[in-house]
């Protein structure tokens, strides 16, 4: 009977139901830290892409708004981009500020053939057609303003 008790004590020592061994905890923490590290590394590019998509979506809405503002008020309206300050503004007439929006500093806008201003006439037509290039990291987009009705589109390069 005593042999059996010593043997059962030795087995119970390794399979104690009250907790985990130090090695089990270290292995678990190592696996969790690797998984968290992989997750953090993968989130950064997704955030940059989301910022760029959000910026382009807002820019498209503001270009349409500028055109509608010109038609509604019967006078010229323009969207002016300030690359030094990382903002663009919607203006009615010569200098009446309607809206100003900041954009992230990692986004670079190059004037292309359009320059840094998009001007809509009172009838909603654009004054000058052309392109703008928008860059953020590895992705680049081209904003094309068509002559005539003021339509535009964004194309990934």
Mean pLDDT, rounded, for 48-61:
87
Domain residues of the chain, as ranges?
Answer: 50-156
Please tell me the predicted confidence (pLDDT) of residue 147. 85
- Report pLDDT digits (tens) over 114-137: 899 999 999 999 999 999 999 987
- Pick from 72, 63, 70, 81: which is nearest to 153 by CA? 63
- Those residues with Cβ within 8 angstroms of residue 86's Cβ, 6 or more apart along the chain or in another chain: 102, 103, 104, 105, 107
- Return the higher-pLDDT residue of 11 and 98: 98
Class assignment of domain 50-156? alpha beta
- Mean pLDDT of all residues belonging to the chain: 85
Tell me how many degrees the CA angle 83-126-89 measures, rounded to the nearest 5: 30
Does residue 11 carry a pLDDT above 80?
no
Exposure class string for 141-152: b at 16+ Cβ within 10 A, else e: bebbbeeeebeb
Instruction: Take residue 20 and report the two structure tokens written for it.
Output: 């985990």
Please tell me the predicted confidence (pLDDT) of residue 14. 55
């Amino acid at each position: 009977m005593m042999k059996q008790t010593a043997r059962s004590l030795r087995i119970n020592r390794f399979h104690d139901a009250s907790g985990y061994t130090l090695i089990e905890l270290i292995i678990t923490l190592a696996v969790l830290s690797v998984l968290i590290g992989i997750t953090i590394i993968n989130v950064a590019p997704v955030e940059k892409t989301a910022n760029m998509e959000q910026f382009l979506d807002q820019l498209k809405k503001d270009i349409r708004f500028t055109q509608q503002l010109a038609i509604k008020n019967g006078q010229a309206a323009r969207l002016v981009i300030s690359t030094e300050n990382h903002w663009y503004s919607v203006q009615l007439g010569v200098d009446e500020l309607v809206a100003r929006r900041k954009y992230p500093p990692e986004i670079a806008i190059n004037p292309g053939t359009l320059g840094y201003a998009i001007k809509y006439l009172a009838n909603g037509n654009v004054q000058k057609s052309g392109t703008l290039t928008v860059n953020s990291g590895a992705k680049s987009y081209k904003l094309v303003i068509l002559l005539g009705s003021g339509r535009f589109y964004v194309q990934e390069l």
